[in-house]
Every structure is written in structure tokens, then in C-alpha cells.
Amino acid sequence: MTDVKAPDFKAVARAEAFARRAAAFAAGQGQAAEILADFLAPHRGKALSGYMPMRSEIDPLPAMAAHQGPVGVPVILEKAAPLRFREWSPGCRLVEGAFRAMIPEEGAWIEPQVMIVPMLAYDARGYRLGYGGGFYDRTLELLRARGPVLAVGFAFGAQEMAEVPVDGFDQRLDAVVTEKGVTLFG
């Protein structure tokens, strides 16, 4: 056997995390978006990245709409590369981008100082599990090398896992916001 161990662990964790997130999505997100907006309020004026929710992801759009300052959403320009972020505003015209994510039809590129990060699962150390593209890991690595970036995971509380499987590239979150409240990672 060669190097299949770590990817297998992630694939197993992803399957379980998808099921747990779908159940939580069906139950509803309560006040999660309001808690997120309150958490982000002190960061007014900074460039923020959010995302267009897909599948059973928790919906951050109300918090993005409440942000006073530029807001962008992720655009995949190529595989195995960092994400770019195109300026978004409520009701802007959208088109389908790579991997079926919706992206603004037009708009300036922004460089986020605060990022709302989607995920399948997270753990108490602040590690997260995504869809396996490595996009957020590459993006955080790049932006953190340039300056301070606050990575705020947004998830249902049920998405917490005991230990997310990690590899050497995984970037930790600074905080996670759920419908139950805010967790800061040291």
C-alpha cells in the first residue's frame, strides 16, 4: 500500500459530515446569521468574504448584507490554486461558476481581511473539513503570508467532530460561529 491512508480518512469523515449537516439543515439555523452579524460588527470597514450557500450549507447572506464595507464571494479560477473573491451586493446578478457555486456576473476583485468560511465539519482545535479541493487552505496560506486575516468558520453546531482528520496543509480557523454561539480558538 502506498499513500492512501490520509485521503481515506478524509473521505470517510466527509461522508459522515454530509449526513450530519443535512440533518441540521433540515432542523433550521435559528439565530445563527444574527450571531454572525453581531460577531462581525466590530470589523465594519474591513473587506469581508462570504459565500453563496450551496447544498446544506448554513446561510450567511443576512450577515453579509449587514456588513458595512466591501463583501466578496469566492470564485474558482483554476484547480489547485487560491480562490479569488468578487465583489457581491444583495440582489446582484449571479451566474454559475466552477463546481456549481454561484458567482457575481461582474464586479471588482477584493482581498478579504475577514473571511466567513464554509465547511463540512470542524473540531475543538479549529481545524475544518471542506469538500476536498484545498481551496480555502491555499487561500488562507496565501493571505496570511501577506498580512493578518481573520478566518471565521460558520456552521451548524452539529457539524463539530471529535477530531477532523488533518494534513500538513490544513489552516486553522480563528473562530467558529454556530446557532449556539461563538467559539474562539487560541
Ligand X SMILES: Nc1nc2c(c(=O)[nH]1)N(C=O)[C@@H](CNc1ccc(C(=O)N[C@@H](CCC(=O)O)C(=O)O)cc1)CN2
The site string for ligand ATP over 110-139 (x = CB under 6 A, - otherwise) reads: -------------------xxxxxxxxxx-
- Counting contacts by CB under 6 A, is residue 21 touching ligand ATP? no
Asked if 10 touches ligand ATP (CB under 6 A), the answer is yes
Size of the site for ligand X (CB under 6 A): 17
Least distance from C-beta 31 to ligand ATP, angstroms? 25
SS (H, E, C) 22-87: HHHHHHCCCCHHHHHHHHHHHHCCCCEECCCCCCCCCCCHHHHHHCCCCEEEEECCCCCCCCEEEE
Q: What are phi and psi of 59, to 5 degrees?
A: -90, 110
Determine, following the binding rule CB under 6 A, whether residue 157 of this chain makes contact with ligand X: no
When asked if residue 152 is in the footprint of ligand X (CB under 6 A), the reply is: no
Establish if 53 lies at the interface with ligand X (CB under 6 A): yes
Around Cβ 183, how many Cβ atoms within 10 Å? 16
Q: Measure the CA–CA gap between 103 and 7, rounded to whole angstroms.
A: 29
128 pairs with which residues across the strands? 122
Q: How many CA atoms lie within 13 A of 18 on its CB side?
A: 9
The footprint of ligand ATP on residues 143-172 (CB under 6 A) is 167, 169-170
State the nearest-atom distance from the C-beta of 179 to ligand X, in Å.
Answer: 18
Q: Which residues bind ligand X (CB under 6 A)?
A: 51-54, 57, 74, 76, 83, 99, 101, 118, 130-133, 135-136
Interacting residues with ligand ATP (CB under 6 A) = 10, 129-138, 141, 167, 169-170
